[in-house]
Structure 1
Amino acid sequence: MSRALHLGATGFGLIAVCYGFARFAFGLFLPQIEADLVLPDAVGGLIAGGSFLGYCLAIVVAAQLTERIGARAVAVCAALVAALGMLGIALAPSAAWLAAAVLLAGMSTGLASPPMAAAVAAVIEPRRQDTSNTLINAGTSGGVILSGPVALLLGAEWRLAYAVFACSALALALFASFCVPSATGSRVRADKAGPLFSVTLKRLVVASLLMGAASTALWSFGSQIVAQRLGWGSAGSGLLWVVIGAAGIAGAGAGSLIARLGVDWANRLCLGALAAAIALVGMGSMPALALLGGALFGAAYITLSGIYLVWGVAALPERPATGLTVAFLGIAIGQTLGAPIFGLLMSWLSMDHAVGLFALLALAAGVMRSNVGDTMRSSPVGCPEKGPY
C-alpha cells in the first residue's frame, strides 16, 4: 500500500511540474515575457505553440521508450527535460532562445504520460487503478493552482519564477528515480489489435484537434486578455490561474459523467461550457465574469481531456496506450496550431474577433460523434475515470 501511495504522490507531482509548470504556466507569464523581450503578439503566439509542438514530438516516441527502457527511466527523463527547458526559459536572452526552451519544456509533458500509465498498471491492483489514475490526473490542476501564487508573489519576475519551477522539476526527478518502478509496456495486445484508423478514431482526432485549438485562447492568451480588457496585472492573472486549476479538479469525474450521459452528450455539454468560458473571459467586462469563465474553463478542459481518453481507449480496447496517445496527440496538435493562429487574429483583426472564432471552434467539435456513447453508458467497467495525463 505504501508503494502505491508513493507512486501516486510522485505521479501527481510529476504531472503537476510537467503540465502545470513546464507547459501551461507560459501563458500566465506571457505578457511580462513579451514586454521584457519586446515580442509582438504574433511571435508570442508562435512561441507558445512550441510548447504544444514539443508535446506532439515527445508523446509519439514515449510509449515505445517506456516499453524498451522502462517507466522509471522515462519518468526521470521527463522531469530532467522539464528542468532543462524551464531553466532555458529563465535564462532566455532572445526570442529564438526562448522558442527553443519552450519547445524543450513542452516535450516533458509527452514524456511524462506513458510511463505513469505503465507504472500504475504494474504496481496498483486492478480495482484501485482508476483511483490512482484520477489522483495522478489531478496533478495538472495542482500545477496550475501552484503557478498562480508564484505569479502573485513574484509579480513581473518571470525569470525567477521559472528558476523555481526548474528546481522543483529536479526534485521530482529524484523522487521518480526511487518511487517509479522500472516497468515496461506489453507488446502482446498491440500485436493482436486491428486497424488503427477506424471511423471512430478519425472523428476523435477531429474533435480533439478542434478542442485543443480552442483551448489556447485561454491557456496561451488568458493572462494577456484580462490584462488588456480588465487592466489586470500579474496578481489578477495569478488569481485567474488559481481558479482555473481549482475548478479543473472536477475533471476527475469524467468517467461518472460519461456513465450518466454517454460520450457524445458529455462531450457536447463540456464543449458548450468551454465555449462559454472563452467568451466570458475574452468578452466580459466584469472581473466576476472573468473568474466565472476561468472556473468553467478549468472544469471543462480537464473533463474533456478525460472524455477523449475514454473515447480513445474504447476505440482501441486491445491497444489502450495507443488510444490514449491518439486522443492527446490530437489535442496537442490543435494547441500547436491554435496558439499562433489566435495571436495572428489578434494582430490582424481584434481580440473580440479572435475570441469569438475560437469559441465557435469549441462548439464545432461537438459535431463529431463517437459511436461509443451507448456502450460506455451501459457498461460502467468501460468508463475508467482516468485523467488526461
Structure 2
Amino acid sequence: MFQGLSAAGFAATAISYGPGRMGFGLFVPEFKSAFSMSSSTVGLVSSLGFAGFFIGLLIAQFFLNRRGPEFPVLTGLAAATIGTSIIALAHDVAMLTVGVFLAASSAGFAWTPFNDAVHRKVRDVDRPFALSEISTGTSVGVALAGALALAMVLLEFDWRFCWAVFAGASALAFVGNWAALRQVEKSPEEGPQKGWRDLLHLTAMPLFGIAFVYGITSAVYISFAADHFARHGVPGFSDDATPALVFIFYGLFGLSGLLTNRMRDALGLPWLLRALLLTAAASLALAAFLPASWLGLVSSAGLQGVNVMMTSAVLAFWSERLFPSFPSFGFTASLLVTAAGSVIGSAVAGIVSDGIGPEAMFYMIAAIPLAAAVTVQSRFVVERPADVPKT
C-alpha cells in the first residue's frame, strides 16, 4: 500500500503541479505571441489560475470529509485533462484563461487527499518520506514538460501539440489513480470534525507565514522567469528554447525534495526554513542580476527548484505533525494560504513589471523571503502540539 499510494500520488502531482500548475509559465512566450498579452495580462491570467488552485483546495476538502480521497483526486485529474485540452484549442485570451483555471485547479484537488491517505495507511516513521516522494512528483512533471517544450523548438512543431500531450498524460494519470485509490476506505478523519478556529493558535502562525511567502515567490518565478530569461537569451542557444531550459533545470534540481526529511534531521526545522527562504531570495535575485548567462539561468532555476520542492515537502510533513488529529484539514489550510500568496503575488508582480521593469520586480519580490528568513525564531517553530512554548 505504501508504494502504491506513493506512485499514484507521484503521478497525480506530476500532472497537476507540473503542466497543470506550472505549464502556463513555461509557455508564456508562445502565449504572448499568439494572444498579444502584456505582462499585466500574464499576471492576471496566472493569478486566476492560482485562484482555481484555491477553489480546488476548498472543494477537495469538502468532498474528502464525505467521500474519502478517491473522489477529489479523480475530479482534479479530470479537471487537468479538460483544462489542458481547452488550452490546446484556445483561440483567445478568455478561452486560454478558462483552460488555465481548470488545469491549475487540479493541483488543489489532487495533493491534499494524498496527505490524508498517507496518514491513514502509512506508518508514522515512513510518512515524511512518502510525503516527500509524492510532492517531488512535481519536479519530474516540470522537467518532462520542459523537455517536451524543448523538443517543440528543436523539431519545430506547434505549442498546441504539447498541450494535447499533457491532456493525454492527465487522462492516463486519471486511470492509474482510479485503480490505486479504490483500496483506500471512504471514511472521514477520525475524531470530531474541526473548524477554522482550531487552526488559529500560536504554533500554526510560522507555518502559515512560510506558506504565504512561499506562495508569493513560487508563483512569481513560474509566471515570469522563463519569459524573462527568453528575452535576454543565453550564449549559444536559441532564445525560443530558453524557457524549456529554465523548467528542465528547475525540475531536475527539484529532485532534491526527496532529501527534505534528511535535511530536516541534520539541520533542524528552523535552520532548514531559513536556508530555503534564502534560496528563494537568491533565485529571484539571480534572475534579475544574470539573465543573459548560463550561470544565471542554471543557478536561478536550480535554486528555485530546490526551494519549491523542499518547501512543499516541509509544508506536507509539518502540517501533518502539527495537526495530527486533522491532518488533511491542517494541510489544506496551509495550502490555502500558499494559494492566497500566489494569487496576490502574480497579479501584483505583473503590474509592477509593466510599471518599473522585470528586474526591479524580481529584486522587490526577493526581499520578501529575505526578510522572512531574518524573522524566523527557533522557539516558535515547533512540529508537534506538545512542543507549544509556555507563556
Shorter-chain TM-score above 0.5: yes
After superposition, the Cα gap between the structure-2 partners of 1:184 and 1:26, relative to the gap in structure 1 and judged at 3 Å, is same
Instruction: Give the letter aligned to residue 272 of structure 1.
Output: L
Instruction: Indicate conservation of the 8 Å contact 1:217/1:339, yes or no.
Output: yes
After superposition, the Cα gap between the structure-2 partners of 1:309 and 1:129, relative to the gap in structure 1 and judged at 3 Å, is closer
Q: Deviations over 1:3-41 (max 9, x none)?
A: 543332222111101110111121010111111011111
Instruction: Indicate conservation of the 8 Å contact 1:82/1:106, yes or no.
Output: yes
Q: Deviations over 1:189-221 (max 9, x none)?
A: 354898321123234323321221122232111
Counterpart of 2:298 in structure 1 is: 291
Per-residue deviation at 1:50? 1.7
Instruction: Indicate conservation of the 8 Å contact 2:119/2:327, yes or no.
Output: no
Instruction: Indicate conservation of the 8 Å contact 1:118/1:185, yes or no.
Output: no
After superposition, the Cα gap between the structure-2 partners of 1:238 and 1:315, relative to the gap in structure 1 and judged at 3 Å, is same
SS of alignment partner, residue 268 of structure 2: helix
Counterpart of 2:254 in structure 1 is: 248
Per-residue deviation at 1:258? 2.4
After superposition, the Cα gap between the structure-2 partners of 1:127 and 1:195, relative to the gap in structure 1 and judged at 3 Å, is closer
Partner Cα distance (1:264, 1:126) in 2: 21
Instruction: Indicate conservation of the 8 Å contact 2:66/2:188, yes or no.
Output: no
Counterpart of 1:168 in structure 2 is: 169
Instruction: Give the letter aligned to residue 327 of structure 1.
Output: S
Q: Deviations over 1:271-297 (max 9, x none)?
A: 111111111123204222211111111
Q: Deviations over 1:128-159 (max 9, x none)?
A: 34333222222111101101111011137221
Counterpart of 2:88 in structure 1 is: 90
Counterpart of 1:218 in structure 2 is: 221
Per-residue deviation at 1:172? 1.1
Give the TM-score of the pair, scaled to structure 1.
0.89
Of 347, 360, 370, which residue of structure 2 is paired with 1:363? 370
Instruction: Indicate conservation of the 8 Å contact 1:212/1:331, yes or no.
Output: yes
Instruction: Indicate conservation of the 8 Å contact 2:129/2:261, yes or no.
Output: no
Partner Cα distance (2:75, 2:205) in 1: 31
Partner Cα distance (1:14, 1:47) in 2: 23
Partner Cα distance (2:350, 2:46) in 1: 10
Partner Cα distance (2:380, 2:264) in 1: 10
Counterpart of 1:265 in structure 2 is: 271
Counterpart of 1:197 in structure 2 is: 200
Counterpart of 2:355 in structure 1 is: 348
Partner Cα distance (1:117, 1:49) in 2: 25
After superposition, the Cα gap between the structure-2 partners of 1:305 and 1:10, relative to the gap in structure 1 and judged at 3 Å, is closer
Instruction: Give the letter aligned to residue 292 of structure 1.
Output: S
Counterpart of 1:25 in structure 2 is: 23
Partner Cα distance (2:309, 2:47) in 1: 19
After superposition, the Cα gap between the structure-2 partners of 1:323 and 1:51, relative to the gap in structure 1 and judged at 3 Å, is same
Give the TM-score of the pair, scaled to structure 2.
0.89
Of 324, 332, 345, which residue of structure 2 is paired with 1:325? 332
Counterpart of 2:314 in structure 1 is: 307
CA RMSD across the alignment = 2.3
Instruction: Give the letter aligned to residue 294 of structure 2.
Output: P
Counterpart of 2:346 in structure 1 is: 339
Per-residue deviation at 1:234? 3.5
Instruction: Give the letter aligned to residue 330 of structure 1.
Output: V
Partner Cα distance (1:370, 1:56) in 2: 30
1:52 paired to 2:59: no
Instruction: Indicate conservation of the 8 Å contact 2:128/2:317, yes or no.
Output: no
After superposition, the Cα gap between the structure-2 partners of 1:30 and 1:161, relative to the gap in structure 1 and judged at 3 Å, is same
SS of alignment partner, residue 221 of structure 1: helix
After superposition, the Cα gap between the structure-2 partners of 1:28 and 1:375, relative to the gap in structure 1 and judged at 3 Å, is closer
After superposition, the Cα gap between the structure-2 partners of 1:322 and 1:254, relative to the gap in structure 1 and judged at 3 Å, is same
Counterpart of 2:282 in structure 1 is: 276
Of 89, 99, 105, which residue of structure 2 is paired with 1:101? 99
SS of alignment partner, residue 264 of structure 1: helix
Counterpart of 2:60 in structure 1 is: 62
Per-residue deviation at 1:120? 2.9
After superposition, the Cα gap between the structure-2 partners of 1:122 and 1:311, relative to the gap in structure 1 and judged at 3 Å, is closer
Instruction: Give the letter aligned to residue 164 of structure 1.
Output: V
After superposition, the Cα gap between the structure-2 partners of 1:146 and 1:177, relative to the gap in structure 1 and judged at 3 Å, is same
Instruction: Give the letter aligned to residue 279 of structure 2.
Output: A
SS of alignment partner, residue 315 of structure 2: helix
SS of alignment partner, residue 132 of structure 1: helix
Partner Cα distance (1:337, 1:374) in 2: 27
Counterpart of 2:10 in structure 1 is: 12
Instruction: Give the letter aligned to residue 173 of structure 1.
Output: F
Counterpart of 1:382 in structure 2 is: none
SS of alignment partner, residue 198 of structure 2: coil
Partner Cα distance (1:192, 1:27) in 2: 36
